[in-house]
Chain A
């Protein structure tokens, strides 16, 4: 049996390469910092505190800021049923299930480990999608849990955050102590390097996040066995389908003179900055999987 669709070596390769680049950037950054001996004790304390907060409280913070409420099995039996079934297929401990009361169609997963995970959906997404599509979305979120994406991205973005704080505050701290004339140049250099580290790692993390997104799509397709379900869910959520016109071509033909300037397509640079790949790209990949499976 051809199980080609289960793996995407290209994607995994790109992901590894991005992580490698990120590691190179971070290691050079650490080497640079220690070379200049920038108040190491302060750095370590700062880093430790930050890591602990992020690691232990990020899930609670996410739930709190989104207003998601954990629901029990009796409150949302169907949703729980779906999650239970998907977890059985994906071999995952069942996460907590939460609902956000908003019409915005969305879903997310959070939690530092597979055992502490929470999967949340909005009431809007439950209204908008068919059960099969909702299942595909839940499978996508569960794949994030299975792949430990929260932990991976927290760790990956951690030093980037440190660099950001150095950029932001080092000029204050640096100027407080003693010999300004000699230290001044050094601090400027630390500051510049931090900026570079911050920007480069920012872009790399964005890339990594996009790859994880593709992986989660892929996982969802494998768990549900129906890539097309996630594809149509994505199209519904993003409103792409609403962009298809309903006016007759013969009716709008008279206005065609105004259509000469082509609409700008928003690829290229914006792609680099976004955490999620464009929906069209994700759908295209899912469609390709569907083809390979059938």
Chain B
């Protein structure tokens, strides 16, 4: 904790943490290990979620993003759509079998928002992986649970500059044992959030 945080605490100033997108790219190399040794295939979809503001400058930034994405997604042949969710958060959702292109597009959105001074509005970026049914079945059997292919999400928290795993099960449950296992195996390859109390779920991810 630095002097600035201390002064903020003393003076009661609250400051939203700035977005940290520098470690966003860690997922690119990590995805190789995820697929190779953990049997988690990139599903080809990813998204970035941010909080819309009413301000006109923000709306123009949003327009700019859309235009940029129209342009860049054509170049990388990425499908993309914008969506608003029940919490009034905006999502830019991408589909592309090429993982690098997904990362590039996500970075384009976060970079544009940051450049226009809206970095604080970015909530998170999410990459979806699918666990291979066979590997999963063996593991589930060992744990005595029902088997089935499951979506595994890696969520990038821009405020912390860290990733964390999220594996939703039915009924707003999550597969914590598997999440912890992922952390243990991936810690060395990517910045995984150490404080599990920050592993906030996002229920109903729209991809």
The yes or no answer to A130 lying at the interface (CB within 8 A) is yes
* Chain B residues, CB < 8 A from A288: 184
Q: Which of A247, A250, A283 has the most CB of B within 10 A?
A: A250
The yes or no answer to B181 lying at the interface (CB within 8 A) is yes
The yes or no answer to B5 lying at the interface (CB within 8 A) is yes
* Chain B residues, CB < 8 A from A226: 142
A283 to B182, CA, bound (A): 12
Q: Count of B residues near A, CB < 8 Å?
A: 41
The yes or no answer to A232 lying at the interface (CB within 8 A) is yes
The yes or no answer to B201 lying at the interface (CB within 8 A) is yes
| A260-B87 in contact (CB<8A) | no
The yes or no answer to B63 lying at the interface (CB within 8 A) is no
| A283-B180 in contact (CB<8A) | yes
The yes or no answer to B74 lying at the interface (CB within 8 A) is no
| A261-B181 in contact (CB<8A) | no
Q: Which of A235, A245, A247, A288 has the most CB of B within 10 A?
A: A245
Interface size class of chain A, counting residues whose CB lies under 8 Å from the partner chain:
35 or more
| A265-B195 in contact (CB<8A) | yes
Interface stretch among A94-102, A150-158, A175-183, A251-259? A251-259
* Chain A residues, CB < 8 A from B200: 245, 247-249, 252
The yes or no answer to A284 lying at the interface (CB within 8 A) is yes
| B176-A235 in contact (CB<8A) | yes
The yes or no answer to B17 lying at the interface (CB within 8 A) is yes
Interface stretch among A35-43, A198-206, A236-244? A236-244
Which residues of A, 245-294, contact B by the 8 Å Cβ criterion?
245-253, 256-258, 260-263, 265, 283-284, 287-288, 290-291
| A249-B124 in contact (CB<8A) | yes
Interface stretch among B7-15, B23-31, B64-72, B97-105? B7-15
* Chain B residues, CB < 8 A from A120: none
- Known A-B contacts: A249-B201, A257-B14. Give 18 more (CB < 8 A): A132-B142, A231-B181, A244-B179, A245-B200, A249-B202, A250-B87, A250-B89, A251-B87, A253-B51, A256-B16, A260-B17, A261-B5, A262-B1, A263-B195, A265-B195, A287-B181, A287-B185, A291-B37
23 cross-chain CB contacts under 8 A: A132-B142, A226-B142, A228-B177, A232-B177, A235-B176, A240-B196, A241-B176, A241-B180, A243-B196, A244-B174, A245-B198, A245-B199, A246-B174, A248-B87, A252-B200, A256-B159, A258-B14, A260-B8, A262-B195, A283-B184, A287-B181, A287-B184, A290-B181
Residues of A within 8 A of B (CB): 130, 132, 226, 228-229, 231-232, 235, 240-241, 243-253, 256-258, 260-263, 265, 283-284, 287-288, 290-291
Residues of B within 8 A of A (CB): 1, 5, 8-9, 14-17, 37, 49, 51, 85, 87, 89, 123-124, 142-144, 155, 159, 172, 174, 176-177, 179-181, 184-185, 187, 194-203
